[in-house]
């Protein structure tokens, strides 16, 4: 709020010339009033001072132009902001699985996912209202691990891997430097939903199993304006902790650089690392999914 104090000008009064009552007659008393001295007559009539007039509001167009031109950074001048992006994650998977008590080691490259031919679009969406926001991120892929083993012997593992992340943001802190570049710090809380399945084949055994579970997650995100339409985003979360019959531990870390090629459209590239350590059952019903996924990402989106 801008405080301002109007200044008032005070004029000092001047004594009127002394008049002798005996120096004029009765007729003079009936005559028109004596005119005020010229120095008083020259004072203009009071008018509305400038400071009393309300300051005109800045046009909305001007307010919009002064906002950070970055669709991935929420413009706090707006009540609502949303963005949607699609991306491709050139994912590599590596880890240990147990299917119906049969142990295996999984290793899949991006080419294995491409050969499976069942990848779906990977989607990220956010909706904001001032300092609060919600998000959704999901992908689903199938892969055939050509370098899989089971108890040291060659094996084939077909992997179905679907993950969704939902939750909310709170814009805890924002900063603008002397040249107008902004940085935002968001707190994150939500859940990650897993739906995974494996078909494991060895020379003498063929088993399959699938599991669905939900892990609570907490994390943070930083968005930094780099100038000249470039921005950087860093995101990280951890969760699981054995709650809700989920993972002992799950994590997701991302770092990306983006460029706003129009006011409402942007592209970005970066790197992502996702992992989960989940187990269930014992003996012939034992199931284990201790797998990490990592690789570069490339995406494009629109903000409005």
159 to 4, 58, 289, 297: CA distances (angstroms): 68, 58, 11, 20
Q: What is d(CA 79, CA 304) in angstroms, rounded to the nearest whole number?
A: 11
pLDDT average, residue stretch 3-28: 41
Q: Are 107 and 94 in contact (CB under 8 A)?
A: yes
Instruction: Please give the pLDDT value at position 146.
Output: 59
pLDDT average, residue stretch 127-143: 92
- Tokens 């046009």 belong to which residue? 59
246 to 7, 30, 194, 249, 286: CA distances (angstroms): 68, 107, 9, 8, 15
pLDDT average, residue stretch 136-153: 79
- Range in 87-96, 198-207, 213-222 with the lowest mean pLDDT: 198-207
Tokens of 188: 């994150």
pLDDT band at 112 (very low <50, low <70, confident <90, very high): low
- What fold characterizes domain 60-303? Lipocalin (2.40.128)
Cα maximum dimension of the chain: 141
Instruction: Please give the pLDDT value at position 283.
Output: 86
Q: What is d(CA 186, CA 126) in angstroms, rounded to the nearest whole number?
A: 13
Q: Which residues pair with 108 in a beta bridge?
A: 93
Residue 50 clears pLDDT 50, i.e. is over it:
no
Q: Are 127 and 170 in contact (CB under 8 A)?
A: no
pLDDT average, residue stretch 179-190: 95
Q: DSSP letter string over 123-165?
A: EEEEEEETTEEEEEEEEEEEEEETT-EETTEE-EEEEEEEEEE
Residue 200 clears pLDDT 70, i.e. is over it:
yes
Pairing of strands 153-154, 156-176: unpaired
Q: What is d(CA 158, CA 144) in angstroms, rounded to the nearest whole number?
A: 4
pLDDT tens-digit map of 220-250 = 999 999 999 999 999 999 999 999 999 999 9
For residue 61, give the H/E element and its range: helix 60-65
- Range in 26-30, 122-126, 160-164 with the lowest mean pLDDT: 26-30
Helix/strand/coil for 217: strand
Instruction: Please give the pLDDT value at position 201.
Output: 85
Per residue, the 3-state secondary structure of 157-180, as one string, reads EEEEEEEEEEEEEEEEEEEECCCC
Instruction: Please give the pLDDT value at position 2.
Output: 43
CA 99 to chain centroid:
38
pLDDT average, residue stretch 159-182: 93
Higher pLDDT, 43 or 141: 141
Nearest Cα residue to 141 out of 73, 195, 99: 195
pLDDT tens-digit map of 54-111 = 444 444 443 343 334 444 544 444 578 999 999 999 888 899 999 998 888 888 776 5
Higher pLDDT, 95 or 151: 95
pLDDT tens-digit map of 259-293 = 999 989 999 999 999 999 999 998 889 999 999 99
Q: What is d(CA 275, CA 190) in angstroms, rounded to the nearest whole number?
A: 16
Higher pLDDT, 44 or 101: 101
Q: Reduced to 3 DSSP states, what percent helix, strand and coil does the chain have, rounded to the nearest 5?
A: 10, 55, 35
- The secondary structure of residue 111, as a DSSP letter, is H
pLDDT band at 147 (very low <50, low <70, confident <90, very high): low
**Domain locations along the chain:** 60-303
Q: What are phi and psi of 51, to 5 degrees?
A: -70, -15
Q: Are 72 and 223 in contact (CB under 8 A)?
A: yes
Instruction: Please give the pLDDT value at position 209.
Output: 93
Instruction: Please give the pLDDT value at position 10.
Output: 35
Instruction: Please give the pLDDT value at position 108.
Output: 78
Higher pLDDT, 41 or 131: 131
């Amino acid at each position: 709020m801008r405080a301002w104090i109007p200044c008032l000008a005070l004029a000092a009064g001047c004594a009127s010339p002394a008049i002798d009552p005996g120096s004029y007659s009765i007729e003079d008393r009936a005559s028109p009033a004596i005119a005020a001295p010229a120095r008083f007559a020259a004072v203009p009539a009071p008018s509305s001072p400038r400071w009393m007039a309300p300051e005109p509001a800045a046009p909305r167009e001007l307010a919009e132009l002064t906002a950070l031109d970055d669709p991935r950074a929420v413009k706090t001048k707006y009540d609502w902001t949303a963005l949607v992006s699609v991306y491709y994650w050139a994912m590599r998977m590596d880890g240990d699985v147990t299917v119906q008590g049969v142990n295996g080691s999984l290793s899949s490259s991006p080419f294995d996912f491409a050969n499976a031919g069942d990848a779906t679009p990977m989607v990220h969406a956010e909706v904001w209202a001032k300092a609060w926001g919600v998000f959704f991120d999901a992908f689903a892929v199938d892969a055939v691990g050509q370098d899989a083993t089971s108890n040291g012997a060659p094996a084939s593992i077909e992997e179905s891997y679907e993950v969704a992340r939902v939750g909310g943001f709170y814009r805890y802190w924002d900063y603008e430097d002397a040249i107008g570049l902004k940085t935002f710090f968001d707190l994150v809380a939500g859940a990650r939903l897993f739906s995974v399945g494996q078909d494991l084949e060895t020379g003498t055994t063929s088993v399959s199993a699938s599991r669905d579970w939900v892990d609570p997650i907490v994390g943070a995100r930083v968005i930094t304006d780099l100038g000249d339409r470039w921005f950087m985003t860093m995101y990280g979360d951890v969760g699981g902790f054995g709650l809700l019959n989920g993972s002992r531990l799950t994590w997701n870390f991302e770092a990306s650089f983006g460029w706003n090629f129009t006011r409402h459209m942007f592209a970005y590239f970066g790197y992502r690392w996702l992992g989960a350590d989940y187990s269930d059952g014992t003996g012939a019903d034992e199931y284990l999914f201790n797998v990490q996924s990592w690789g570069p990402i490339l995406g494009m989106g629109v903000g409005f």
